[in-house]
Structure 1
Amino acid sequence: MPKAKTRADGLVERCRVINGKKRHFYGKTLKEVQAKIDAAIVEAAVCKEKGEPFIDVADAFWTKKEPTIRYGSRRGYYHKVEVAKEWFGGYGMREVTTTDINRQLMQMAAQGYAYKSIAGQKSVLSLIWQYWCAEMRGDCNPCTLLKLPQGLPQKKRRAPTDAEVSDVKAHTEGFGLCPAFMMYAGLRLGEVMGLQKKDLAGGEINVCKQVVWHNNHPEIEELKTDNAYRRVPILKPLQAALAGRLDGLPDEAFIFGGERPYTKSSYQNAWLQYCQDIGRAHDSGKRYKTGKKSKDGKVLYKTVMEPDFTAHQLRHEFASTLVQCQITPQVAKELMGHADILTTQRWYAEAKASAVDEATAILNAHFGS
């Protein structure tokens, strides 16, 4: 056993190797130092049996992971890490079993969470255990053989109605150019906000960047995947909507914003105003105080209006149109900027009412012959 030595500051020091790591212990007396060594040995034995505390591993994982996550995804990741800490914060890594995790996911399902939310929570849990195995010499991952609960609801994005689509097509003036880019080119909102005049040339849209709002402020960022970088043809309806609109605009200017892209609030206000102008907004049921009072002293409130549909639903419409026009899956994948055509089919593309009517007529003719 190494001998104790007295330091210049009067403290007694002793070194011990515990679980393969050399550690230094200090105290005013040899008895105090030995007590610290004994406590560390017990703690190491417990840690070896139960694994490092889950909460410590989760914090270490997040410290390393956070800088690698895009701003727009960071909040969602952080929330899932915090949920995991609430579930298993009092356990060691080896104490948590597949059954424990499945029980928590089943509770999420019982509370009405959809497939994507539960799958995302499972994914983050698995990443925490992967980090433990790779960085802290862990030796198991209870998520490996875990299956998600059966029958989870999978919410699809609603396509705009035929009436909504007609209204958008009829109103491409002013801010209507923004929804036209989704309707006729299938661009994401961030991609539209990042468009500069120079990105429209030779009859094509060069999709090469996106705007991500950091709180309210626009920041230009790279696209999420290599497949998102693409060239999309400017179809005739979009050509008509663009006619003369960009004349006199500098090549570096953003189509929506000018020298800088729209802030988040500027976009939201413009979108709501557009939807109101075309008769596609509704009373949300929410109210806020105006800061004024009526003549009889009552507080006055203002109605909060909401758009009937979002810009992203028009990207959905573009995908549905690709399917209806029998564009091949590979070409559709390229136009939408997806890494996998299954993403397009699963979350966007669905049969339109007119296509169902057409199929009905064809089938009736077949069976009636």
Structure 2
Amino acid sequence: MAKTKKRADGLIERCRVIDGKTRHFYGRTAKEVQAKLDAALIEASTRRDRGDPFCEVAEAFWRTKEPCIKYGSRRGYRHKVELAKGWFEGQGMREITSTDINRELMHMAAQGYAYKSIAGQKSVLSLIWQYWCAEMNGDTNPCTLLKLPQGLPQKKRRAPTEQEIADVKAHPEGFGLCPAIMMYAGLRLGEVMALQKKDLADGAIRVCKAVVWHNNYPELEDPKTDSAYRTVPILKPLQDALGSRLDDLADDDFIFGGKKPMTKSRYQNAWLQYSIGIGHAHDSGKRYKTGKKSKDGAPLYKAIMEPDFTAHQLRHEFASVLVECQISPQVAKELMGHADILTTQRWYVEAKASAVDEATRILNAHFTA
């Protein structure tokens, strides 16, 4: 029941609880106030039928989610939220069906997006509906009935070639210690950049932090997940690569960077120069102006080189070696710092596929001898 009173300023005020919230309506006449109240009741009824506006829910979800996401992941998450808002702007949460979502995901597939991108988009949509149900009294999540489009392309990182692996092993000197750690310990790049002398002790590496570059500048953060906190043995080849190289460092010094971790640009340049030095860099096809001119006055350009392989490919090589050496998936999960054993098991599936290829080669050799 709406309560009516006349205010000191001459306006009529009526209060009414609508959907659990007290609303105040003002006007110079009772008719004007009633019109505003009636409009609010119609709007509330429509909102109940349609559900809360998708864009409002998505923004509320993002305000809650953003502080919980690692810096390096925020941009990707935000992009997915904004993309979804563009799809469903003006629609209520109950109006959007699994068919509507599937149509948008199919459109992404038609544009050439890979499986990982589309699966990530679906995941964020599901999180938005979960937030609506948990925090805003929603009652449905169409994403639970949704299957991803079939036949989506899946991009896989190229494994390092045998020659690349051999050259990494042969050149641990200088900055080559960084790829050596990736090769023999399987750390993530941010974990390697965060290593301090005190983290290497008693024949093991203690992984307890990671560098995240905020634009170009390094910040130390906790590892990605609880599983990423781990202790990894320093294998004999890495012991040999370390030698006495850490003797002149203070316990708090970073192995790569000194008193502070490397900036992103410094790391990228160091990795490129290392790759060029061992003969594993290529012309990217891009050019930049040198600021100089030829004899005829034309601007001179220089080729931009790119490394043939990344640090993360060497982490994957370590995972492959674990499989080849028949290390159990449970132990491999601990060494790699995977949060989910399914991530680890994917390596074992890929290893089985390569084993079939090797078996084919051996059998062909046998039957054609």
TM-score by length of 1: 0.93
What residue identity is the alignment partner of 1:134? A
Give the equivalent residue in structure 2 for 1:285: 285
Give the equivalent residue in structure 2 for 1:19: 19
Shift of 1:293: 3.5
Give the equivalent residue in structure 1 for 2:75: 75
CA distance in 2, matches of 1:106, 1:18: 40
What residue identity is the alignment partner of 1:33? V
Give the equivalent residue in structure 1 for 2:267: 267
Contact 1:324 1:355 in 2 (8 A): no
CA distance in 2, matches of 1:286, 1:198: 41
Shift of 1:312: 0.3
Alignment of 1:238 with 2:214, yes or no, is no
Counterpart mapping for 1:143-292 below 5 A: 143-292=143-292
CA distance in 2, matches of 1:265, 1:24: 57
Contact 1:16 1:23 in 2 (8 A): yes
Give the equivalent residue in structure 2 for 1:321: 321
CA distance in 2, matches of 1:295, 1:30: 87
Counterpart mapping for 1:125-144 below 5 A: 125-144=125-144
User: Structure 2: which 5+ residue stretches go unaligned?
Assistant: none
SS in 1 for 2:144: coil
SS in 2 for 1:143: helix
Contact 2:18 2:41 in 1 (8 A): yes
Contact 1:320 1:349 in 2 (8 A): no
CA distance in 2, matches of 1:222, 1:39: 51
Give the equivalent residue in structure 1 for 2:303: 303
Give the equivalent residue in structure 1 for 2:33: 33
Give the equivalent residue in structure 1 for 2:63: 63
**C-alpha distance 366-300 of structure 1, shift in aligned 2 (>3 A):** closer
Greater shift after overlay, 296-305 or 60-69?
296-305
Identity of aligned residues (%): 79
Alignment of 1:104 with 2:92, yes or no, is no
Contact 1:187 1:315 in 2 (8 A): yes
Contact 2:227 2:337 in 1 (8 A): yes
CA distance in 2, matches of 1:283, 1:266: 20
Matched pairs, number: 369
Contact 1:218 1:261 in 2 (8 A): yes
Shift of 1:351: 4.3
CA distance in 2, matches of 1:186, 1:44: 56
CA distance in 2, matches of 1:257, 1:21: 56
CA distance in 1, matches of 2:358, 2:52: 62
CA distance in 2, matches of 1:183, 1:96: 48
**C-alpha distance 16-342 of structure 1, shift in aligned 2 (>3 A):** closer
Counterpart mapping for 1:349-368 below 5 A: 350-351=350-351, 359=359, 363=363
Contact 1:292 1:299 in 2 (8 A): yes
CA distance in 1, matches of 2:365, 2:283: 45
Greater shift after overlay, 5-14 or 179-188?
5-14
Contact 1:282 1:307 in 2 (8 A): yes
What residue identity is the alignment partner of 1:300? L
CA distance in 1, matches of 2:259, 2:26: 61
Give the equivalent residue in structure 2 for 1:339: 339
Shift of 1:155: 2.0
User: Structure 1: which 5+ residue stretches go unaligned?
Assistant: none
